[in-house]
Chains A and B, each alone.
Chain A
């Protein structure tokens, strides 16, 4: 059974870098696994927003509005993947979720999800 746990600081100052880690158990985190590794965020009181993901072809994909500020990487231990978002503003305040996009031969879905980390951007 694959489980995800996201972690990181809950408070980041404006203009600084937000860093989060997702620890995966039950599967190897690699660019050639059966899963895509995904970051999603949810601003307070709002809906879900995809922000970036790492796919099995080694490709890293970002929401265009965040491109240039966002880095997604794999840990060499193959048990974690990380997100770094630079130059944060109030608009980046959100609950950040990591998730695995799991595909069978016929369907795909985001499952499982981490528990979510609330990150507040404030001085």
Chain B
């Protein structure tokens, strides 16, 4: 199980956002991914391998962590960053496990 916190994060443009994802068991960083989903769109990869930014993702997004605790940080929030963020891990039960999501909303 992946547990994301907080469920909702209310911040303003220019703020720093810190999103957490905690696993119920130690997971391999190689298979740990962060996705961003905007309203009405499919999710897209932000960070894979726990800390590698996907192609085209701005450097204000960064991922860190290992074992059971992972963090997605967004420095200097832009208006387009307000969305829902999911963490995901491969290899547990179910095979592809998603966190329940963190909604990043504009204050």
Kindly list chain B residues whose C-beta atoms are within 8 Å of the C-beta of A107. 30-31, 48-49, 52
Minimal beta-carbon separation of A22 from chain B (angstroms): 12
B14 within 8 A of A: no
Kindly list chain A residues whose C-beta atoms are within 8 Å of the C-beta of B97. 50
Kindly list chain B residues whose C-beta atoms are within 8 Å of the C-beta of A64. 93-94
Minimal beta-carbon separation of B55 from chain A (angstroms): 9
Q: Which of A40, A50, A111, A113 is B54 in contact with, Cβ under 8 Å?
A: A111
Q: Which residues of A70-123 are within 8 A (CB) of B? A: 97, 101, 106-111, 113-116
Whether B96 and A108, one on each chain, are in contact in the complex, defined by CB atoms closer than 8 angstroms, is no
A30 within 8 A of B: no
- State the B residues within 8 Å of A (CB): 30-31, 33, 35, 37, 42-45, 48-49, 52, 54, 86, 88, 90, 93-101
15 of the cross-chain contacts (CB-CB < 8 Å) are: A40-B96, A47-B98, A48-B37, A48-B88, A48-B98, A50-B96, A50-B97, A101-B90, A107-B52, A108-B90, A109-B33, A109-B45, A110-B35, A114-B42, A116-B42
- State the A residues within 8 Å of B (CB): 38, 40, 47-50, 53, 61, 63-64, 97, 101, 106-111, 113-116
